[in-house]
Amino acid sequence: MIPVSPPHWMVGSVMGKCLLCGREDNTISSVIGVCVECLRRRPNEALSRAMRVHSEWRSRAKLPLEPLRTGGIQCSFCVNRCVIGEGGYGYCGIVSNSGGRLVLRPGLYSEKLSMHAVVSWYLDPHPTNCVAAPVCPANTGAGYPRWTNTHGVERGMYNLAVFFAGCGLDCLYCQNWEHKTMLTRRETIVSSSRSVEELVEAAMDPSVTCVCFFGGDPTPHAPWVLRAARAIREEARRRGLVKRVCWETNGIANPAIMREMARLSLDTGGIVKIDVKAWTPSVYKALTGVDAAQRVRENVKLVAEMWLEAGKPEPPLLVTSLLLVPGYVDLEEVRGWAEYLASIDPDIPFILLAFHPDHLLRDLPPTSKEHAVKAARIAKEAGLRRVFIGNSWLLGEWYNVD
């Protein structure tokens, strides 16, 4: 494990300083080194500084410093489109080049593992703290009787939470950052390698009503996870069981993959949950390490239009979420996303999530209640009808919002 220091906000208020404009505030991260205004107004200079932390971290974690561009076979699973050399692997740490063909990384160690994924799963009881909880059948009865057996909360039933290692982004605040370091340990990769058949068997537990693929992110495992999701759908149909297929994803997948993910959710009453990160491309890249803001917008629209074409069934096919990172995902970032979503359809659910310091971004406080309340108001003023605040127990009086 790469050591990470305790959050600074736990031991007192720390003032960060922007190295470009000199502004000081407790919502400016010294890890990033620049403020959000400089990221928006002076993106080239600001990103030159902000990207250093990504490179330093990934170098220590033995992961590619940036999406690869020359010297091998191109992977098309996500927006990064890495060109992977023999024996190497993509930015995600999962897709590798073995013998001139792209395989999932476990295949490097054993032919037996070539159809396996680096994945684990567990039972999460309903009602659960799912991003889509405000509109999910498990919590609300939405879609009854086709997609749930109850009018309300599915008490006594479970979500099968399927967690993947690997991700096409490098979020500084990743809540599950250990999945990155496990990819550098052969024994962990092999012990965490599971087959499609094992997952399907677990999903057929009668107490499981939804299967949610998250991580990390499921996208680097696209061939494996789509095969597994199809098998779960077909076996559930054969047995007459409710098995909603859901995704928690960063939204940077190849649109063809995203469309298939959404189709599987539409077929089963599941939900595609896309974490949109930020609106401004330079802010997005500073936080995630990757230039993917436009791809996320395209995939959000793609899934939303699939929902509209289907007649807007309940539960909604698409749920979007935005983490309110203090000082960076400010009200301007919220407004950008809210106006975009409302222009597609005002009924797209928008979940505003409270931030908790983690991974490398531990010198910022949690989200202030004022920040969340004003963000929700702005989203509604933009025309969205289903706006929710998530992780509200994290909110406090940490900072003021102008």
Dist CA 50 CA 17 (whole Å): 13
- Specify the pLDDT at position 2: 42
Domain annotation covers residue 400: no
* Residue 275, token pair as written in the block: 């974490």
Ordered DSSP codes for 345-373? -TTS-EEEEEP--BTTB-SSPPPBHHHHH
Tell whether 104 and 203 lie within a shared domain: no
Tell whether 218 and 131 lie within a shared domain: yes
Domain annotation covers residue 67: no
Tell whether 91 and 215 lie within a shared domain: no
CATH number at residue 219: 3.20.20.70
Domain of residue 377 covers 115-394
Find how far residue 309's CA is from the centre of its chain. Answer: 25
Domain annotation covers residue 66: no
Domain annotation covers residue 246: yes
Domain annotation covers residue 399: no
Domain annotation covers residue 336: yes
Tell whether 56 and 141 lie within a shared domain: no
Tell whether 137 and 229 lie within a shared domain: yes
> Is 35 known as a binding-site position?
no
**Which residues, other chains included, contact 186 with Cβ-Cβ below 8 Å and sequence gap of 6+?**
109
Output Rg (C-alpha) for the chain, integer angstroms.
21
> Is 171 known as a binding-site position?
yes
Q: Say what the alpha-carbon torsion angle 144, 135, 132, 307 is, to the nearest 10 degrees.
A: 80
Tell whether 330 and 239 lie within a shared domain: yes
- Specify the pLDDT at position 115: 64
**Which residues, other chains included, contact 237 with Cβ-Cβ below 8 Å and sequence gap of 6+?**
none
Write the single-letter amino acid at 294.
Q
Tokens 């995600």 locate to 92
Task: Please state, in angstroms and as integers, the Cα–Cα distance from residue 258 to each residue in 250, 281, 363, following that order.
Answer: 11, 21, 34
Determine how many CB atoms are found less than 10 A away from the CB of residue 232: 26
Tell whether 362 and 377 lie within a shared domain: yes
SS3 401: coil
> Is 136 known as a binding-site position?
no
Domain annotation covers residue 65: no
Half-sphere exposure at residue 111, Cβ-oriented, CA atoms within 13 angstroms: 1
Ordered DSSP codes for 196-217? HHHHHHHHT-TTEEEEEEEES-
Tell whether 100 and 19 lie within a shared domain: no
Tell whether 100 and 173 lie within a shared domain: no
Tokens 């990064």 locate to 80
Determine how many CB atoms are found less than 10 A away from the CB of residue 58: 18
321 has which bridge partners?
A: 275, 351
Dist CA 390 CA 398 (whole Å): 17
Q: In terms of residues, how long is the chain?
A: 402
Tokens 């250990």 locate to 178
Q: Are 172 and 363 in contact (CB under 8 A)?
A: no
Domain annotation covers residue 402: no
Ordered DSSP codes for 73-115? EEP-SBTT--EE-TT-B-TTS-EEEETTEEEEGGGGT-GGGTT
Tell whether 222 and 365 lie within a shared domain: yes
Tokens 């496990």 locate to 182
Dist CA 39 CA 290 (whole Å): 14
Dist CA 72 CA 99 (whole Å): 11
Dist CA 89 CA 147 (whole Å): 39
In order along its 402 residues, the chain shows pLDDT tens digits of: 344 445 555 544 678 999 999 999 999 999 999 999 999 999 999 999 999 999 999 999 889 999 988 889 999 999 999 999 998 889 999 898 988 888 887 544 444 434 677 788 999 999 888 999 999 999 999 999 999 989 899 999 999 999 988 999 999 999 988 777 666 655 565 556 778 999 999 999 999 999 999 999 999 999 999 999 999 999 999 999 999 999 999 999 999 999 999 999 999 999 999 999 999 999 999 999 999 999 999 999 999 999 999 999 999 999 999 999 999 999 999 999 999 999 999 999 999 999 999 999 999 999 999 999 999 999 999 999 999 999 999 999 999 998
328 DSSP 8-state letter:
T
Domains held by the chain: number: 3
Tell whether 143 and 185 lie within a shared domain: yes
101-104 and 116-125 strand pairing: unpaired
Q: Are 172 and 359 in contact (CB under 8 A)?
A: yes
Is pTM beyond 0.85? Reply is yes
- Specify the pLDDT at position 113: 35
3-state secondary structure 263-277: HHHHHHCCCEEEECC
Tell whether 136 and 90 lie within a shared domain: no
